[in-house]
Amino acid sequence: MGYYNSTEPKKNKKGYFASSFTGLIAGALLVGVILPSVTDGEVEGAATTSTNQAVSGLQTTSTVVTSDVTKIVEETSSAVVGVSNLQVAQQNPFESQTGDKKESQEAGVGSGVIYKKDGDMAYIVTNNHVVEGAQGVMVTLADGTELDAEVLGTDIWTDLAVLKVPGESIETVAEFGDSSVLQAGEPVIAIGNPLGLQFSGSVTTGVISGTERLVPLDINQDGTEDWQSEVLQTDAAISPGNSGGALINAQGQLIGINSMKISQEAVEGIGLAIPINTAIPVISDLEAEGAVHRPSMGVAILDLAEVPAQYRTSQLNLPSEIEGGIVVQSVVESSGAASAGMETYDVIVELDGKSVNSVLELRQYLYNETKVGDTLKVKAYRNGELQNFELTLTENN
């Protein structure tokens, strides 16, 4: 499981396509192609325009089909942009140094969605990993206009980031939908930039394959799961560069931010997106304050499972039946935990009456069920005795 965005440099290259006909039969007709509707398997209310042409003695029929999909794409695709991560190129030490100026180059390309226009500025949501490490960010609009973007804030836990750009050339803004009412089988459209800006504005269709999927994430890449992200699963094709793009419902509303894909050769057709209901409060915090304010107990912690068995009895003095919990490694001075009297080597087993067996479970409870300023009831073992603590949660800096 991992994040991805295209690392290919921007190319100004046009593709050329040629077609040929063999075994021509006089009077043959070109068969019209019917596109599937986003609302069902037929082109419901599709409008068609046909013209006949004679080319080299052959009669052709040109049919323009307008379906629910094409209408939605026409109305919403301009709200999806390209996002380029710019970083200073590492200089060749053997090249002559003609000046101090260092040029930035494109280190990766993803997508973003314009969700708000306020005065002469516009705001874009994308993925944290798309802009991570950037020394500059460039946004490319659907018409090719390039704008320098300011990163207002990023959040590694939800993989979201908010950008700000000049809004004078922006007209289309995405409308938020409600991801809580989505059902498996509901049709969706994904719009983004697979493989970079050379395929900008690419459209794929599919269905919601599942809701409330929990995907484990290793945030710091240490081999241990740090977080479980709740995501939407879709079979709409999502490729490198789609990260940060839009997942849209049949009403043309934004219901997800495409973020991840399971990268296994044996797995096909599984794309994942951050539900918009999960994203909205994070977007608001990042736009207003540049960060998400999450609660903290004020302790450094470790999974009990990582402590060798001999130390559990000799140093922690735990009862033999206790197999899960969180060991307090240190307590931050003047924190909620310190004020409540918690100490190093306390083993936390319960929060607000709910058992917790790992750091992951503790973090999920704190970030999803509590807020800064709440009083948290904690049960922890100290020298073999179960202790009760009440602490006030402070902001996680």
Does residue 379 sit within a domain? Answer: yes
- Bridge partners of 109, per DSSP, are 6, 84
Instruction: Find the CATH number of the domain harbouring 329.
Output: 2.30.42.10
Whether 277 and 314 share a structural domain: no
Whether 268 and 302 share a structural domain: no
Residue in 128, 17, 20, 25 with CA at minimum distance from that of residue 83 = 128
Does residue 146 sit within a domain? Answer: no
> Of all helices (H) and strands (E), which one includes residue 265?
none
Instruction: Find the CATH number of the domain harbouring 236.
Output: 2.40.10.10
Tokens of 306: 């990582």
Q: What is the DSSP letter of 78?
A: G
Given 68, 129, 209, 358, which residue is catalytic? 129
- Domain's final residue, options 237, 254, 281: 281
Whether 344 and 384 share a structural domain: yes
| Number of domains forming the structure of the chain | 2
- Domain's final residue, options 281, 306, 327: 281
Whether 261 and 196 share a structural domain: yes
Residue in 245, 226, 223, 225 with CA at minimum distance from that of residue 234 = 245
Asked if 237 and 190 touch (Cβ cutoff 8 Å), the reply is yes
Per-residue pLDDT of the chain (397 residues; tens, 9 = 90+): 444 444 444 444 334 333 333 333 333 333 333 334 444 444 444 555 555 555 566 777 767 766 789 999 999 999 999 999 999 876 655 655 555 556 778 878 899 999 999 999 999 999 999 999 999 999 999 999 999 999 999 999 999 999 999 999 999 999 999 999 999 999 999 999 887 777 788 999 999 999 989 888 888 888 788 888 899 999 998 887 889 999 999 999 999 999 866 655 556 678 999 999 999 999 999 999 999 999 999 999 999 999 998 899 889 999 989 999 999 999 999 999 999 999 999 999 999 999 999 999 999 999 999 999 999 999 999 999 999 999 999 998 6
- Domain's final residue, options 226, 249, 281: 281
Active site residue 293: no
Given 77, 111, 155, 159, which residue is catalytic? 159
Whether 386 and 307 share a structural domain: yes
Does residue 159 sit within a domain? Answer: no
Tokens of 265: 């050769």
- Give the residue numbers spanning the domain of 326: 295-395
Does residue 326 sit within a domain? Answer: yes
Active site residue 155: no
Whether 186 and 249 share a structural domain: yes
Given 243, 259, 335, 358, which residue is catalytic? 243
